[in-house]
Every structure is written in structure tokens, then in C-alpha cells.
Amino acid sequence: MPRLLTGFVRAAGYANKVRKVLFAITRGKVNPEEVVRAAAELNQYLFNKFQDMGVKKEDVVRIEAEFEIKDGKIEWNYDSLKVEVYKKEEEEKLAEAMREVEESEKALELVIEELSKLSEKLRELSDEISQLVEKIKQEHTTLKLEFEKEEES
């Protein structure tokens, strides 16, 4: 069964796209008047469907519909009709959400970088503290040994 596929098109231009695609896929199979009639029939059906769905002119749609050619006449299989709608507002919201995610990721990277620097500083301080503790232990041990020597004498 032949199938009409419009690809992505703004809702404002779907009727022209349906007509052009239908002319292209039925060239030489049906007369042009029948293509115009069948395109108008599908476009009227789609117009009503778009109104029911709340589709706006600036939204993007993709239409798919199967049809048959019987005795030189195009008959639409409306049960096979598929309409995908991509709302302009959703597109803008998605773009804004993506910007927010990117900003959050950049901020997170900066925080991680700062924490890494602090971690390195803490490691250095910990090493210095360990060295001081060892030095104090050695001095204490030396003092203790000297004290013990003095007591023995």
C-alpha cells in the first residue's frame, strides 16, 4: 500500500507539503485533478485533527498516511494516519532546560575543581602536621633520654 510521508514541516505549511508529496508519489498513476482532490480531502481531515489537538501554526508536524489507488481514485486509509507534533513552546522549554543543565554542570565542575584544590591543601597540611608530630616525638624522646641519663648520674 503506498504511503505519504511529509517529513518535518511547520504546521502552517502542512497543506502544501501534503499536496507536493502526493503529486510526487502518484505521478503517472492518477490524473492531477484527482491528486488535488485527494490532497484537499486529507488536508481538511488534518486541519480538523490539528484543531482538536491544539496544534499551532508555529509547531512542527510530521504526517504519515497510507492510501490506495482504486479505479484512478485515491482512497485514504485514515486508520493508518500518524501525526507527530513538536510544540514550539516545548522546544523553547527544552532549550532553556538544556541551558540550565549546562550552567549547572559548569558550576559543578568549578566546585569540584575548588574541592580538589582544598583537598590537596589539606593533604599538604596533613603531611606538615605529621612531620611536626614526628619532630616533637623525636625531641620528646631525646629529652626523655637526656633526663634519664641525668638521673643515672
Q: What is the mean pLDDT of residues 32-58?
A: 96
Contact 25, 4 (CB under 8 A): yes
Confidence of residue 137 (pLDDT cuts 50, 70, 90): confident
- 59: cell is 509547531
Q: Is the pTM of this model over 0.85?
A: no
Calculate the CA dihedral of residues 91, 47, 42, 24 and round it to 10 degrees: -50
Domain edges within the chain:
3-86, 88-153
**CA separation for the pair 6, 15 (Å, rounded):** 10
Contact 61, 14 (CB under 8 A): yes
pLDDT, greater one: 121 or 144: 121
- 83: cell is 501525526
Phi and psi based region of residue 110 (left: phi greater than 0; alpha: psi -120 to 50; beta: remaining): alpha
Contact 26, 36 (CB under 8 A): no
For 8-33, the pLDDT digits (tens) are 889 999 999 999 999 999 999 999 99
What pLDDT score does 152 carry?
A: 67
Q: How many CA atoms lie within 13 A of 68 on its CB side?
A: 6
What pLDDT score does 38 carry?
A: 98
Give the sheet arrangement for strand 73-86, strand by strand. Answer: 3-10, 60-70, 73-86
**End-to-end C-alpha distance for the chain, whole angstroms:** 115
The position carrying cell 641519663 is 149
